[in-house]
Amino acid sequence: MSQNQIRKPPMGWLSWNMYAENIHEDLIRAMADAMVESGMKDCGYEYIIIDDCWSVREGRDEQGHLVPDPKKFPSGMKALADYVHSKGLKLGIYSDACRVTCAGWPGSYGYEEVDARTFAEWGIDFLKQDYWLDVPEGETAQGLYTRMGEALRNCGREIVYAVCEWGSNEPWKWAHSTGAAMWRTTWDIRDTWDSGIYDVQHNGFVNAVDVNAPLADFAGNGGYNDMDMICAGLYGKGSPANGGGACGCTDTEYQSQMTLWCIMNSPLLTCCDLANMNEATKRILMNCEVLAVNQDGCTVQGRRMYAENGFEVFVKPLENGDYAAAVLNRNAEAGRFHLDLTQFGLPAAAEVRDLWAHEAVEHNRYGLDLQVESHETRLLRIRPQEKPCCVHGD
């Protein structure tokens, strides 16, 4: 792939965190409609992805094909893909590298080629491949994902491949070579700021940040560390997202999640009810200046450069020579943070813009003082001033 063909972190909507097994083709169509009507499509959101529980639970048909549950998808997947495509969007689906999915539906183990061909025939554009823990003896995560990667390469359709192994087998080291465009680095994200502990049930926003931040070297060039779904708009209403006692966040916290996922180049898969978003959720999901940091042509993951006294600084270089810098306040109280630009390798002679406020920020050669609310993340774009062109006669 040449530099300008490199895929950016995928953006879209995923059914799991809000709807779990309560999915239906009418819901999927409604989400596609809302992605267009809300303006999300114009901001770059593209994939509508059906998560677990879409097929007949009891098993495959006589030829070994997965069958869409006729109660949930009476018109079938091909018709649904046609509808989503007619909106200028793409349709994603879910399967599992093992025999069953995490919710207990049939997985793709032993049927990788059949499933990849079936998905291609339906017009599917994206596959989230999960990893339930019944790994057959003698198999490895890398082996299983390689097999599905090969099947997708040979299925006759371009299907974006998303590995969802949760990080236990360090997929950041091998998933890109299986053909994956993204790989989950963390357990399932929960609708909470900080779950205190980090395990299969507990994973708040800052807990995911702590796992993902040290993995910056493994992302870029069309393969991304996936920190799981963007939770803005959930407000404690999604049952899977409420696992481990999570019960919702404030808009400041949702905005922080968006900022951190953007600067760390995570895919941006939203999960709330797109047809009923309030103004705050729309503002968080559709800030084009913020999204441009995530979708920038320089696809390196922003690095955590500083973490002291509850304040953290992340820096990401951008394609045109600008930098994005994020300042996170993890403390329970608001505070002021002095961002010394040169300390983080940033140019002091620069224009600084606040990407959430859409305004220029005053600073001097020592840097700038930022007010950062509790759990807020400020996001700045720093543009080096061009050196004056010297024309001293000749």
Applying CB under 6 A, the residues found at the interface with ligand GLA are 16, 51-52, 101-103, 130, 164, 166, 188
The encoded tokens of residue 377 equal: 């993340």
User: Minimum Å distance from CB 31 to ligand GLA?
Assistant: 16
Residue indicated by tokens 């995911």: 208
Of 265, 262, 267, 270, nearest to 230 by C-alpha is 270
Instruction: Exactly one of 125, 188, 226, 273 is catalytic; name it.
Output: 188
DSSP state, residue 216? G
* Residue whose CB is less far from ligand GLA, 51 or 125: 51
Assess whether 125 carries a catalytic annotation: no
* Residue whose CB is less far from ligand GLA, 239 or 374: 239
* Residue whose CB is less far from ligand GLA, 51 or 296: 51
* Residue whose CB is less far from ligand GLA, 133 or 288: 133
User: Minimum Å distance from CB 327 to ligand GLA?
Assistant: 30
d(CA 302, CA 305): 9
User: Minimum Å distance from CB 296 to ligand GLA?
Assistant: 26
User: Minimum Å distance from CB 83 to ligand GLA?
Assistant: 23
Residue indicated by tokens 């465009």: 181
Residue indicated by tokens 């299986």: 178
d(CA 332, CA 33): 39
Type and span of the H or E element at 209: helix 205-212
User: Minimum Å distance from CB 386 to ligand GLA?
Assistant: 45
User: Minimum Å distance from CB 243 to ligand GLA?
Assistant: 9
* Residue whose CB is less far from ligand GLA, 166 or 314: 166
d(CA 81, CA 183): 24
Instruction: Write the CA distances from 263 to 33, 83, 137, 357, integer angstroms.
Output: 28, 33, 39, 17
Q: Closest residue to ligand GLA, Cβ-based?
A: 102
Instruction: Exactly one of 51, 52, 130, 191 is catalytic; name it.
Output: 130
Assess whether 188 carries a catalytic annotation: yes
Of 254, 245, 270, 252, nearest to 205 by C-alpha is 254
Q: Dihedral of the CA atoms 202, 129, 170, 319 (nearest 10)?
A: -100
Type and span of the H or E element at 11: strand 11-14
* Residue whose CB is less far from ligand GLA, 129 or 299: 129
Instruction: Write the CA distances from 321 to 251, 289, 311, 329, 356, integer angstroms.
Output: 31, 16, 26, 27, 20
The encoded tokens of residue 135 equal: 């790994």
- Which residues have a catalytic role annotated? 130, 188
